[in-house]
Amino acid sequence: MQASWGYDPERKWQVQAILKTPVDGISKVVILVGEKSGDQKVQAAQFYTLPDGKHILAADDIIPFGERPYADARAELQQKADGPYHGNASKDLELVEFADFQCPHCKEAQATMEKIATDFPKARIVFQNYPLEKIHPASLTAASYGACVAKLGGSAAFFSYAGAVFDSQDGLSSADGVTLTLNSAVTKAGLDPAKVSACAATPEIKAQVDASVKLAQHLNLNQVPTLLINGRPVPIGGLPYESLKKIIAYQAQLDGAATN
C-alpha cells in the first residue's frame, strides 16, 4: 500500500481484516481509507490477493502489488520500449507515454508532457504508439508515419512530427484530411512525404507498430494516454499536473533515481 499510495501525504489507511476464501492462495483484504485532515468520511475498500503474490484483484481489474509492484513492468519497458525519446539517455527514471495520435485526450496531454520534461530534466521520456484503430481509424496510419519519421530523421524529427499531428488532429477525421495532415507534419519535420509514405507501407514498420501495441496490451493498459513511470502505470487524461508530479517524484525516490 505504501508503494502505491505513499506519494499522497494526506491519505491514510488501515488494514481492517485479512480473510480466507474458498480458493487456495486467494485472500480477501478489507481496508479503511481516509485523509489526515478528516475532511472526508472514512471509506471501506476491499481487494483480493492472488496466488502469485504479485497481483491483486480490485473491482474488475488486476493490479500489480507487493513491496516492488512495478519492478517487472519496469524491466520489460527497459528492454522493449524502443520508441523515440528525449531527455536523459539513462533509464534510471524512464517515463514511457503510450498514446494514440487521433485521441483528443492524448492531444491535451502533450502540454503536460512538456511540463514534465521541464520539471524532470533527468528523465528519459519515451513515446510508444498505441493506436486504437477500431475507435480512431486514422491512428494506425499516423503511427506508421511517425515510426518512419523516427527511422529516417531521428527522435527530434519525430517529436516535431508528433506536435504537428496533434496540433492538426481535426484533419484526421476524413480520408483526404489524413493525407494532407500527415504529409504536412512530415514536411514540418524536415522529411519527404513520399519517402515516409513508402516506408509506412513496409512490413517492417507494420511489425514495429504491432509490437508496440502488443507491449501495451501485455502491460494491461486499457486507456490512452497512459504514462508509465519506471513501470508504474498512471492514466494522465484529466489528472491534475501537481498530482502527477508528486507520483513521478515519489516513484523516483522509491527507485533511487535522481529527478534534476
Could you report the per-residue pLDDT of 166-189, keeping only the tens digit for each? 999 999 999 999 999 999 999 999
Average pLDDT over the chain, rounded to whole? 95
What is the reported pLDDT for 212? 98
Residue segments in the chain with a per-residue pLDDT below the cut of 70: none
Judge contact between 172 and 138, C-beta under 8 A. yes
What is the reported pLDDT for 223? 93
Could you report the per-residue pLDDT of 34-86, keeping only the tens digit for each? 988 877 789 999 999 999 999 999 988 889 998 899 999 999 999 999 999 99
Question: pTM for this one?
Answer: 0.94
C-alpha cell at 84: 523515440
What is the reported pLDDT for 38? 72
CATH code for the part of the protein at 71-254? 3.40.30.10
What is the reported pLDDT for 102? 98
What is the reported pLDDT for 28? 96
Residue 67 three-state SS: coil
| Other residues' Cβ atoms within 10 Å of the Cβ of residue 249 | 18
What is the reported pLDDT for 1? 83
Range list of H helices, the chain? 2-5, 71-80, 104-119, 139-167, 175-188, 193-200, 203-218, 241-255
The residues spanned by each domain of the chain are 2-69, 71-254
What is the reported pLDDT for 117? 97
